[in-house]
Amino acid sequence: MTTLLAFFFTLAVLIVFHEYGHYWVARRMGVKVLRFSVGFGQVIASRTDRHGTEWALSAIPLGGYVKMVDEREGEVPAAQLDQAFNRKSLGARAAIVAAGPLANFLLAILLFWGLFLVGVPILKPIVGEPAPGSPAQLAGVQSGETITRINGESIASWQDLHWLALKQVLRGAPLQIETVNQRGHLAFRNLVVPELGEELENAPLKALGLARYLPPLAPVLGQIAPDGVAAHAGLRAGDHIVAIDDVAMATWEQVVETIRRSPGKNLRLTLARAGQTRQLGLAPAIARDGDLAIGRIGAGPRVDPEVLASLQGTAHYGPLEAMRRALARTWELSSFSLEMLGRMITGQASLKNLSGPLTVADYAGQSAESGLGSFVSFLALVSVSLGVLNLLPVPLLDGGHLLYYFAEFLTGRPVSEHIQEIGQKIGMSLLGLLMFFALYNDFSRLFFH
């Protein structure tokens, strides 16, 4: 239910903002708007305002539209000819079409600005022990070091680290990181970036051997998922796992590693609880980590709140700096989205990076459950993606109409209806192909991994 509500709320906000951009500029350009619809198909609720615009809610909630007076779509009364979209200047028509995607970018900027003003929760970019043989380990990265820069760009959080690392590795750039250890000693590390592949695209930090630092934890249970294997087996918060199958457990990491490599296997746990020793049996649930089957029991370690707080923080900014960062973040996401799309078209990046409505719904639910800040950040990200998608020069999208207007600007006459009909068929084919790959990836991620 949380996922469904978050998904439909996301759609409603993005659709309304996008279509209101078209509507607002159309009204300013003197075009009469007949209908503002959220959704397609049969109108299920509507009202008409004093300007004669019908505000409608339609049956299929996967989009929306603004219907304007236009001689190409039917006869227009003589009294309304000066309010027809097709009678407006080229600049006015282009402004109306471009206003939808620009509204999505504006929404993203406002959402990011609000986040930066209120304060963004961050994880400090402190790295743990690199995986053996990984680029980080070969470069000499040590557990407990804080990464402060990547290729000269400042790092303030683990989120920044992930974002900058992803940008650099996709561009094939060598990776130089600047680190500071717990004694304040500065070091420069040159990481040899492996050949671009699916793991590097999807989990760049893992592929580089960079993992978050976690202080040594005792094998004591903290949180227990209500419906997990641990709960059904009778484990409780505070249980000390002494051994698994008679192998002594000294740290939480040992417990995790033993469970991960035992999916579906019956394990015997020796526990210390309230001064008594007990034994319980359980079989870790089978989960997927990429192509690898791993075990999970639905339990987490007990962590000292003070230790946890030392690894976290909140970044606050003033109004001007928050706006600068919001503009920069929106620009970076937009350019990166275009770059990734170009790489997928040229075969430099996997088509598995495409996501459809099922993945969007899944992430909407996850972000909503993670808190308001996560959900607002998700909204901003999807709004940027929608703005970029609609500006692509593909017929049927806003960018396709802008392409026609550019051709009209160059030739001095509108693109013929015959050319537009051919363009519509090409556009429908391209969008259909895009949706096929997106839905295929959705089903693969959600049901086969």
Q: Which residues are catalytic?
A: 19
The CA distance from 70 to 365, in Å, is: 40
Burial class (CB in 10 A: 0-12, 13-18, 19+), 103: buried
| Neighbour tally for 346: CB within 10 Å | 8
Enumerate the β-bridge partners of residue 315: 120
User: Would the CA dihedral through 83, 89, 95, 97 be positive or negative?
Assistant: positive
The CA distance from 340 to 318, in Å, is: 32
* DSSP codes of every residue in 323-391: HHHHHHHHHHHHHHHHHHHHHHHHTSS-GGG---HHHHHHHHHHHHHH-HHHHHHHHHHHHHHHHHHHT
Question: Long-range contacts of range 244-250, CB-CB < 8 Å, 24 or more positions apart?
Answer: 244/268, 244/269, 244/270, 246/270, 249/219, 250/219
Contact indicator for 219, 252 with CB cutoff of 8 Å: yes
Contact indicator for 240, 222 with CB cutoff of 8 Å: no
Strand (E) positions, 140-263?
146-150, 153-154, 175-180, 186-191, 221-224, 240-244, 247-248
What number of CA atoms fall less than 13 Å from residue 187's CA on the CB side?
18
The CA distance from 19 to 66, in Å, is: 6
Q: Which CA distances in Å does 10 have to 6, 36, 322, 375?
A: 6, 18, 23, 9
Contact indicator for 402, 98 with CB cutoff of 8 Å: yes
3-state secondary structure of 209: coil
Q: Which CA distances in Å does 356 have to 26, 115, 353, 359, 421?
A: 30, 26, 10, 6, 27
The CA distance from 31 to 37, in Å, is: 17
What's the chain's length in residues? 449
Q: How would you classify the pairing of strands 120-123 and 285-289?
A: unpaired
Tokens of residue 105, six digits: 């970018």
